[in-house]
Homo-oligomer: A and B are copies of this chain.
């Protein structure tokens, strides 16, 4: 009897599905579907489209495009080859126009472009697992407005407090700087900073620390939409090009002073690290020789590390920095990074002066996939 009822119900559902298609109603589409073997299926309903494809940063190749195939029910579909554990970004192209996948509400913004994201993970400890929210103690993520006397502004930054932060115990601080076109949301969203820190700390691979992610654009108070300039279209340049009262490096101690006066920080050199990517790597470099006694750990990630070798002041500042014996001066860059030459020149300069540093080189170029790796590595090297 139970079986008959079951079959009857199935038939009703089948009829209902048929009726829905007859009436032109759309089938329910799930996308992406991540399979156990790491293959990923994308589905997109559009019976009238002529050509549909998925573009994403799959398989270590940037902007790989996969053509989708139309099925009888109007759903276009394609399945990838097995993907390595990673956070992936993609979009859908419909007859030449780029769209967000309507079935996937998980998106990241990079300057003014939204992309869908998904994570492939296969085992504890792989990159997908590291970038995921796991069942571990979680830190607090705050958007904090601080006063910058140097810039004459209230400014917004993101502060990660480790799960162990209780307002009593003091913690070391990593300052984590974004690149050109980014803002105080970049490391949290595109960089998965809070997930990486939660997981590294839970696994005992990094010590519990505060992570400060400021806004590196001295003419913006905050990320697009989060200050009084309104919902403008960010282009990565508009507000950088206006005259600022001071540079990021010149105003940087406002941030350190705010953190030291408002949070339970360890107010010592050996409990301060600064690292950043691209423009933020340049900021890190500028901060290193400008404030040699403030930080003990420096991480230059794909850094726009411009030198002024013909300037006596620069050479003196570099001499003073390395005379102060920082615990770590770390340079990380991908083989295909367009800033490789600039970083090679920096290494040559450091070698010529016998200034000690560590160097890490991996595959790939100037992409978030690498910066997530560099954050993961740097966070494990500091405060130990």
Contact = CB atoms under 8 A, between A and B. Distances in A.
Interface in A245-301: 262
Contact of A144 (B112, B140, B143, B226): B140
A112 B262 CA distance: 37
Interface stretch (A203-211, A230-238, A346-354): A230-238
Nearest to A230: B132
A103 interface: yes
Contacts of A226: 133
A95 to B, nearest CB: 5
Contacts of A48: 50, 95-96
A107 interface: yes
A133 B134 CA distance: 33
A50 B194 CA distance: 44
A102 interface: yes
A334 to B, nearest CB: 27
A230 B103 CA distance: 16
Interface string A155-187: 010000001000100000000000000000000
A118 interface: yes
B143 A233 contact: no
Interface in A107-121: 107, 109, 112-114, 117-119
A328 interface: no
A97 B46 CA distance: 7
Nearest to A166: B262
B100 A97 contact: no
Given A140-B144, A142-B143, A262-B167, A45 B105 contact: no
A114 B94 CA distance: 18
A142 B145 contact: no
* A50, A95, A133, A225, most chain B CB atoms within 10 A: A133
A141 interface: yes
A88 to B, nearest CB: 11
A330 to B, nearest CB: 30
A94 B234 CA distance: 25
B133 A227 contact: yes
B46 A133 contact: no
A107 B106 contact: no
Contacts of A106: 224-225, 231
B225 A133 contact: yes
12 contacts: A30-B233, A46-B95, A46-B97, A48-B50, A94-B94, A105-B114, A107-B107, A118-B231, A132-B228, A133-B230, A135-B228, A140-B145
Interface of A: 30, 45-46, 48-50, 94-100, 102-107, 109, 112-114, 117-119, 132-135, 137-145, 154, 156, 163, 167, 222, 224-228, 230-231, 233-234, 262
